Structure 1
């Protein structure tokens, strides 16, 4: 990982380790077709308790891992700063398929492009029946 990518990743990690410091809160989630490479990162801004995340921005990586890509990490940090987030809630594990249910495949079905994710719990990664 480049020095620049590490700097932005460290900055993001530091903000997330600080815990809740008030609203707005930035939520950061990584997605990928399996558990080895994040091809998408989604960042949402929650302005107050009970609010939906808005705005939400997504970045995609076709050849690199979104968790270590310098341009993506810089864009994420800048987006969070631009929206004045005081807190950051981030999980650095890949928590799901990068495709969106209802947009990329029918509601209630599993993604045909990501068989690794079928019947897998997004939080534990364990296979469920």
Structure 2
């Protein structure tokens, strides 16, 4: 994956490891396992807390290559005083939300790649 300045800065923040709370989590989603079209950054303020602030970005092309969006993510992380940044490089599933974009308990009708597939291992589960 090509890396611009902001991608390198984000990766550097991740490599620093656990520096305590607040923690920022960065996750990518897409209609398949190749192109991330959604990025979600959540801020967890303290141990055991639910995320207090969540921001979502969307892009038609691979969001991981958008220097503008990655700059906005870095700004969001800084604005929320996150000490630790955790990020999974892989795409973690469909960008659509169960119960919002399609009914609870069903597969997304727009993202057939993920139907019956484990979002973490990307292996078929049924």
Provide TM-score, normalisation by structure 1: 0.94
Distance, in Å, in 2 between the alignment partners of 1:116 and 1:92 is 18
Contact 1:67 1:92 in 2 (8 A): no
Distance, in Å, in 2 between the alignment partners of 1:54 and 1:42 is 13
Instruction: Name the structure 1 match of 2:117.
Output: 120
Distance, in Å, in 2 between the alignment partners of 1:66 and 1:52 is 25
Is 2:89 the partner of 1:102?
A: no
Distance, in Å, in 1 between the alignment partners of 2:98 and 2:68 is 27
Runs of 4+ in 1 over 3 A off after TM superposition: none
Distance, in Å, in 2 between the alignment partners of 1:116 and 1:13 is 28
Instruction: Name the structure 2 match of 1:21.
Output: 19
Distance, in Å, in 1 between the alignment partners of 2:89 and 2:57 is 15
Instruction: Name the structure 2 match of 1:82.
Output: 79
Distance, in Å, in 2 between the alignment partners of 1:75 and 1:65 is 15
Q: Which runs of 5+ in 1 are unaligned?
A: none
Provide TM-score, normalisation by structure 2: 0.96
Q: Please state whether the residue corresponding to 1:45 is helix, strand or coil.
A: strand
**CA RMSD for the aligned pairs?**
1.3
1:28-67 aligned at under 5 Å gives the runs 28-62=26-60, 64-67=61-64
1:19 CA displacement: 1.2
Contact 1:32 1:38 in 2 (8 A): yes
1:100 CA displacement: 0.4
